Amino acid sequence: MIKNIIFDFGGVLVDWNPHYLFDKYFNDIEESNYFIENVCNTEWNAEMDGGKPFEQAVKERTAMFPKYAEPLKLYQTNWMDTMGDEIPGMYELIKSLKDNGFPTIYGLTNWSAETFPAVQKKYHIFSLIDKIIVSGEVKQLKPNPEIFHTLLNTFGLKAEESLFIDDNVKNVEGAKRVGINAIRFENAQKLKEDLKELHLLLP
C-alpha cells in the first residue's frame, strides 16, 4: 500500500531550461546549442548538483573553455534566468493529494544547494512540499542508490510504501532498484490518470 508520495522538482514541478538564459545571450541558436551541449552541459551541471561550489565549478570550466568565460560567469550570476514557470496542473494535483489522504508530500531533487533556496522561495508550489532532500546538501545524486536510502532513512519511510515521480527515466529506474515504486512523469494529466489507476486519487 502506498503511503508516501515523493516528487522530483525540475521538469515535474517547475520548468528549468538553460536555453532561457543562453538563447538570449548568444542570439544564435547554433552557438547556444553548442554551449549547452558541450560546455554548460548536463554532466558539468551535475557537479554543482552534487555539492561542488559554483565559484569553483565555474573557475575550473573557464580554464577548460576560456573562450566562454563570460557566459560561464553569467550562469553563476544570472542562474535564475534559466527558470521558467510552474508545470501546468501540478499545483492543483498535489493539493488534491494533500486533501485526500497524503497530508505530507516529499521531495527528492538533484539541485545545487546554492540555487535551490531562491527557487523554493519564488514558486508557490513548494509550499505544498513538506519534507525535502536536496542533492547538493547531502552531496549525493540520483540515480545512485545512496540518495534514495538517505531519503528513506531521514524521514523513516519504507521503500515498498513509497511512490517516486520523476521525468528522468534513469532516476525512475534508480528508485525501482532500491524497492521504491516509481512513475515517469510526462505531464500533469497523464500523472493524474496514473495515480487514479493506483487508487491514489479519486476517479
Per-residue pLDDT tens over the stretch 20-37: 999 999 999 999 999 999
**In whole angstroms, what is the distance from residue 165 CA to residue 149 CA?**
16
Provide the strand spans (E) within 34-90. 83-86
With contact defined as beta carbons under 8 Å apart, do 116 and 49 qualify? no
Provide the strand spans (E) within the chain. 4-7, 14-16, 83-86, 105-109, 131-134, 162-166, 181-184
More confident residue, 67 or 201: 67
Q: Does pLDDT of 203 surpass 80?
A: no
For 103-144, what is each residue's pLDDT tens digit?
999 999 999 999 999 999 999 999 999 999 999 999 999 999
pLDDT band of 202, cuts 50, 70, 90: confident
With contact defined as beta carbons under 8 Å apart, do 46 and 110 qualify? yes
**In whole angstroms, what is the distance from residue 203 CA to residue 192 CA?**
9
For 59-72, what is each residue's pLDDT tens digit?
999 999 999 999 99
% of the chain with per-residue pLDDT over 90 = 98
Helix, strand, coil percentages for the chain (3-state, nearest 5): 55, 15, 30
Q: What is the mean pLDDT of residues 139-166?
A: 98
Average pLDDT, the chain: 97
Nearest to 110 by CA among 134, 86, 131, 138: 134
